[in-house]
Amino acid sequence: METRKQQLLRRHRRGKRLFMVAALLVMAALDWFGNWNSLPVLLVLAWIAHEAWFADHLFYSPREDYRYDFPGFSPCVEGVIHKCELHLGPGQLPASADTLILAVELRSTWLGRWLDPHVLIQDGQSVDRQDFERGARGLRYLNLSGLLPALREGRLRLQGRFCRLGPEVRLHAFDNPDYASRRVMIIAPHADDAELAAFGLYSRCAEVSIVTLTQGEIEAQNYRRLGLDKAAAARLKGRLRSWSSLAVPLWGGVPASRCVQLGYYCMQLAAMAAEPNKPFASRESGEADIRSVRRFNPLALPGDLDGVPTWNNLVGDLASLLERFRPEVVVLPHPELDPHPDHIQASRALAEAVECSGWQPSIQLLYANHLYDNDRWPMGPAGNGISLPPRQEPLPADGLWSPRLGASTRMDKAQALAMQHDLQAPLPFKKRLRRVIQWLLAGRRWPEVGQDDFFRKAVRRHELFWVRPTSDREPRAN
C-alpha cells in the first residue's frame, strides 16, 4: 500500500515533470522563432537553477503558518522584539523552565527567496542559528531551550537574516524533570534511529535499554558492488545493521547487555499488524527466520521459540522486554508526525505490548526522524538548534522537552552516526553535484564528518521530544 509520503512525492515528481516539459516547449519555441541557437545553453542554465533552488522536497506552501496547540498547563507569556532585543511582558515563567518555544511572525526578504532565511539567537556567549524555508512567511516557532538565564537578564538578541521578524511574540514554557535520571527504554524501528533521535539522551542515562525492531535489510544496492546478488546483499546489510544496533550504543555508554535486536523485516510491520498470525518474510533477503540476527541478544525472548516473523511474536517480545527492563519512560517515534510505516507501527506495537504485559510506563517521549512534508527539517547547517517542524494541522497538545547537547556530546553523536553502516554509503554523483551547485549559489553547507544528510539534520544543539503521559499513576506492576 502506498503511504501518504509516497503519494506526496509521486505528485511532486509528476508536477515537476509537467513543468519541465512545458518549459522545454517554451524554450524550443523561443529558440525556433528567435533563431537564438541557444537551446542547449538554456537547458543547462535551467537545470542548474533547478538544482540550486527548486530541488527540495517541500510539499506545502512556505507562506503557510505553522499550527501547534500546546497543553493548557504550559505558561504562555507575551513579548516584543525591539531593536533585536527580546522583551517579555508581565507573566510568570517557571523558575526551572527547561524548554522554551517562541512563536514569531517571520517574513522572508527578496533575498530570502534565494538564500535560506534564518534567525541568529545570541545570548552574549554563543550564537545559535535556526533556518526556515526559502520564501517563508507566517507563524514559526524558535527553540530557545537552555537560554532562560539570558532571557531573565535581558541579554537575548534575535536577528533575522534574509527575513524580518514581527515585533509581537509569544513564549511557551515547559518545566520537565530530567528524564535521563529515570529508567528509559528506547524503541528504534531500525538501527540508527536511537542515535539519530536520542544519542544525547541515552548517553546521559544511568539506566537505559535500546530495543531495535527490524534488521533494516532492504535497499541494499550499495552492497551489490561487492559482487553479491540482491538477496545476499540484503542479508549482509541486515547482519551489519543488526550488529550496529547492538554495538554502537556502547560508544554512548550503553552496554550490550541492555541492547536487544528483534530481527523483524524492514517495511513489513504494517502488513504484520493487518494479519497478526501470518508470517511476513523479508522482501529482499529471502529469509523468514528472525533468529538469524538474534544470537547476540543478552536474553531469551518469546519469538525465539519458532523464529516466525509475525505481529503476535513482535508484541510478545515487546511485552517480555517491558517486564524485564521495567522502563518508566519509553522513547519512540511520533505516530502522527513521523511518516515511515515502520515508525508508525512501533507505537501500535508498544500499545498492544503494554496491554499484554504487567508493566506500564508513565511517560512516552516521541521523536520524528522523518517528516511528511519537508525532507530538510531540521533545516540549516549542523550544530545549530532545532526549531519546531512544519505542521499545517495541529498535533495532539503534548508537552515538549528539548535538552541541549554540548559540543563534546555533539561530536560523540556524529561519530556514533559514522559507525552506522547505512549512513556510510557514498553519495551518488548527482547529489554531490547538486551540493556543489547549492554551495556556490544558495550558500548551503554540509558537515565534514559524513556525507549522508542525517549528519546535518541530527547533530544539533538540541534534541526534541514530545512528552505524552500514558497514565496519571506511577508505573504499575502485577
Would you kindly state where each structural domain of the chain is located, as residue ranges? 4-53, 76-174, 179-370+406-426+454-459
pLDDT tens, position by position, 28-66: 666 665 555 666 777 788 888 889 998 888 888 999 999
8 Å CB contact between 449 and 399? no
| Mean pLDDT (whole number) for 327-341 | 96
Specify whether the backbone of 342 is left (phi greater than 0), alpha (psi in -120 to 50) or beta: alpha
Please name the amino acid found at residue 14. R
When mean pLDDT is compared across 4-18, 361-375, 454-468, the lowest value belongs to 4-18
Query: Is the pLDDT higher at 417 or at 48?
Result: 417
| Mean pLDDT (whole number) for 170-189 | 97
Q: Which CATH class name applies to 76-174?
A: mainly beta
Q: What pLDDT is stored for residue 95 in this prediction?
A: 82
Q: How wide is the angle at C-alpha 192 spanned by C-alphas 186 and 193, nearest 5°? A: 45
- Cβ burial of 75 (10 Å; 0-12, 13-18, 19+) is middle
Q: What are 380's three cell numbers?
A: 540549516
- In this model, does residue 477 exceed pLDDT 60? no
Kindly list the distances between the CA atom of residue 235 and the CA atoms of 20, 190, 268, 278, in Å, as whole numbers in the listed order.
39, 15, 16, 22
Give the residue from 409, 476, 473, 444 showing the smallest Cα distance to 131.
444
pLDDT tens, position by position, 208-218: 999 999 999 99
Name the phi and psi angles at 316, rounded to 5: -65, -40
Band of residue 358 on the pLDDT scale cut at 50, 70, 90: confident
Average pLDDT, the chain: 91
Strand positions, DSSP E, 288-398: 329-333, 363-367
Could you tell me where the DSSP H helices lie in 419-465? 429-441, 454-458
426 secondary structure, DSSP code: P
When mean pLDDT is compared across 64-68, 86-90, 249-253, the lowest value belongs to 86-90
pTM: 0.91
Give the residue from 174, 170, 168 showing the smallest Cα distance to 93.
174
First to last CA, the chain: 40
- In this model, does residue 472 exceed pLDDT 70? no
pLDDT > 90: percent of the chain:
81
Band of residue 94 on the pLDDT scale cut at 50, 70, 90: confident
8 Å CB contact between 337 and 366? yes
| Mean pLDDT (whole number) for 350-358 | 94
Please name the amino acid found at residue 71. P
Name the phi and psi angles at 252, rounded to 5: -95, 10
CA distance 347 to 361: 13
Task: Give 20's Cβ-side CA count (13 Å radius).
Answer: 17
Q: What pLDDT is stored for residue 16 in this prediction?
A: 64
Give the residue from 318, 287, 315 showing the smallest Cα distance to 215.
287
- In this model, does residue 122 exceed pLDDT 50? yes
Q: What pLDDT is stored for residue 182 in this prediction?
A: 97
Topology annotation, domain 179-370+406-426+454-459? Rossmann fold (3.40.50)
User: Which secondary structure element, helix H or strand E, spans residue 88, and what is its range?
Assistant: strand 85-88
Q: What pLDDT is stored for residue 206 in this prediction?
A: 92
- Cβ-based neighbours of 95, under 8 Å, separated by 6 or more: none
